[in-house]
Amino acid sequence: MSVTTTELLDRAPHPVLNRCAILERFGADKLELLLAMAMLGDPLADAVVAEQRGLAQANRAAGQGIAHGLASLEQAPPALRALLEHAESVPEWVDAGRIRKGAEAYLSVGLEWLTISLGPGSLAHTYASPAIAKVLMATGSLDSRAERRLVETAVWNHQIARPGGLARGGRGYVHSLQVRLLHARVRGGLLNKGWPRATLGMPINQIDLARTWLDFTYVPFNALQKVGIDFDAEEFADLYHLWQLIAHLLGVDPRLYRLAHDQQSGAELLALIDAGIAAPDQHSRQLTGKMLQALGQRLQPALQMAEADAVLLMHSVCRLFHGDELADQLGAEPNWTAAMLPALTEKNRAQRQLERRNPELRRQKIEQTLLAFDQADRAVDGATAYQNNLAAPAAETLPG
């Protein structure tokens, strides 16, 4: 230990972390780690944003370097060079075969349930953090444009499991670096507007990034099992291997994401992070309510239900995924559609068993998912906020 326990308990940020709870459950070493992570953004991406400020040429260089690689730039600005060297340097632990199998396991879920796990699963849990909800509300877009933010999160999510998508210049690689730079842009904008860093920690800090990463791994994987879409131990290991590479591209600190390599260790990391956060607040409830409404409206044609009933079903799924206590805090209302969930679960379980016994069915399911991704992405009106970020760097909106 480099500091005493008393110093850890006295150290800011105060509202961000329940230091006593972390110390009691996980010890001083973990508390010291989280205190450091609460004050840390993404130094490589933050330096690029500072370097780009007001320089259109630097923005163009970033766009070219992300899409075509560092070698495509005759002269890369120093911060951009450092970011691209980090992104293009594949960590030594990466196994290409496991990345491929992890992507196949992810795609085997199918578009509809991946979308549902993304909304009532991933985003509802993301919004449950008051610190993250405060940042999202401060961007001024999520409250009024919930459907657009949901769509843009899905666009990114559709890229990361495509064959070869995380290789340099692949669609998942490019989209993830674009998201990373948007996070840095928003972080810098909030700091310039007087964000109280000394008491709230860095906006979009490493705890927020790691928690959001778990909202795309542990949280939806756990949620999918509750509706009959399970994974075996090898699939879980491959899924986390895939998502650890995604974390590397997104700028999550490896001291956090490397702690989670399966559902058990994912649950342990999430428990560590969640032990220090406050209960959901009014921003959490507002964001969750608008997201559930937007998702129900979006899925209504596929669900073949009245729009109001589709929204109610999203509330019921949210309650199933997160349990009554958290769902109540998020404003997900109990309603009659909960009675539909057992039948939907049995249908998913039966289909999953068929696909496990028949590799050809599984292959067809993966191909259908990729085609559905393409169709959904073509229907998106215009570029996403993170894609526009380099062309219009004043943007301070976040996907998701």
The pLDDT score that the predictor gives to residue 399 is: 45
Label residue 91 by pLDDT band (50, 70, 90).
very high
Rounded Cα distance, 126 and 132, in Å: 7
The pLDDT score that the predictor gives to residue 395 is: 45
pLDDT in tens, 224-260: 999 999 999 999 999 999 999 999 999 999 999 999 9
Label residue 23 by pLDDT band (50, 70, 90).
confident
Average pLDDT of every residue of the chain: 90
**Overall average pLDDT of the 373-380 stretch:** 94
pTM given for the model: 0.91
The pLDDT score that the predictor gives to residue 13 is: 54
Q: What is the four-CA torsion angle of 117, 119, 125, 126, rounded to 10 degrees?
A: 120
Distances (CA, A) of 359 to 168, 234, 260, 352, 367: 30, 16, 29, 11, 12
Residue type, 319: R
Q: Where are the domains of the chain?
A: 5-38, 43-388
Phi, psi (degrees; rounded to nearest 5) at 36? -65, -40
The pLDDT score that the predictor gives to residue 260 is: 97
Contacts of residue 308, Cβ cutoff 8 Å, sequence gap at least 6? none
* Full DSSP string of 108-161: TT-HHHHHHIIIIIIIHHHHTSHHHHHHHHHTTSTTT-HHHHHHHHHHHHHHTT
Cα Rg of the chain, angstroms: 21
Q: Could you give the count of Cα atoms lying within 13 Å of 155 in the half-sphere of its Cβ?
A: 23
Count of C-beta atoms within a 10 Å radius of residue 251: 25
Rounded Cα distance, 230 and 87, in Å: 32
